[in-house]
Amino acid sequence: MGWGLTIPQIGLALLDHEDLAKQLPGWGYTDAWSAETSGTDAFVPLALTATWEPRLRLGTAIVPVYTRGPALIAMSAATMAATAPGRFVLGLGASSPVIVGNWNGIDFDEPYRKTRDVLRIVKQALAGERVDGTFDTLTIKRFKLEQAPATPPPIMLAALRPQMLRLAGQEADGAILNWLAAYDVAQCLEAIGTQTETAARIFVCPTDDTEYARNLGRTLISTYLTVPAYAAFHDWLGRGDALRRMHEAWAAGDRAGAAKAIPDQVVDDLVLHGTPESVRGQVQAYADAGVTTPVIALLPTPDPDVAGIVRRLGRAS
């Protein structure tokens, strides 16, 4: 079982992560996973971490399949595979209409087919094959990596609902889960349908200030879970009724009301809080449910000692 941390940490400059990265294995972390929303890109933090600490496995969670062409994704993945041989995992996913459409000006059309096409193209390219053909959502003409990795890195797929989860199980090397409770894991694993690696990004706010943690959690949940794909995911998981008032307020333009409408239990299930030691035990519950690599996404807390919190969340603590 792995034990991952999302990098970079909020509030810590990118180049100030070197000391933290070097400490992670001693604190029980096996992995460092990047994200790509509106902060850093997915690859540069991992490239730096690869040089700072050679014991960590490195993964992207995720690289959107819309915002880079598949050839560029393959080149970036091959570069990371050469930088950290045997230690890099490429995580791909559809991302969201906000990131793809609103922020990058790209049509968010046919996310399942687009994700499947890019997955297949990148797999072929990383295997050293020439990619030349028409897929459902795009056409590639005679692309071949100049230096394909001797051993292609694993490709994992971010998935929320049964169709994408099955694709992760059938054609990728694993699935990346997000915004779920530990007791939701079994339903996702059943949909994947095969025994494969699963990573789950788990949002944590290690603090005894319950009001602070819940307020932050409500803001995040109302922002994320009103995105159509996440809304459908939580309907599928059985939270439709619990989140109905949130969706109604959000649709009416009442952002504050939407956050207030989220029940405490939903917040507590999706944004873990309490002492770092308590939170570590809550993260372990995901592993006990079948997640092979829990990836901690540390949210800001009233405690400025980020390194101390990361240490106490570590599996070796």
The letter for the amino acid at 157 is: L
User: What are the pLDDT digits (tens) for 78-92?
Assistant: 999 999 999 999 999
User: What are the pLDDT digits (tens) for 58-73?
Assistant: 999 999 999 999 999 9
The pLDDT assigned to 2 comes to 97
Give helix 306-313 / helix 276-288 axis angle, nearest 10°: 40
Terminal Cα-to-Cα distance of the chain (whole angstroms) = 16
**Average pLDDT of span 46-69:** 98
User: What are the pLDDT digits (tens) for 257-298?
Assistant: 999 999 999 999 999 999 999 999 999 999 999 999 999 999
User: What are the pLDDT digits (tens) for 101-159?
Assistant: 999 999 999 999 999 999 999 999 999 999 999 999 999 999 999 999 999 999 999 99
Is the per-residue pLDDT at 14 higher than 90? Answer: yes
The pLDDT assigned to 37 comes to 92
Smallest CA-to-CA distance from 120 within 97, 105, 137, 99 is with 137
Is the per-residue pLDDT at 11 higher than 90? Answer: no
Q: Which residue has the tokens 């040089």?
A: 51
The pLDDT assigned to 317 comes to 80
User: What are the pLDDT digits (tens) for 151-210?
Assistant: 999 999 999 999 999 999 999 999 999 999 999 999 999 999 999 999 999 999 999 999
Smallest CA-to-CA distance from 103 within 38, 12, 59 is with 38
The pLDDT assigned to 1 comes to 84
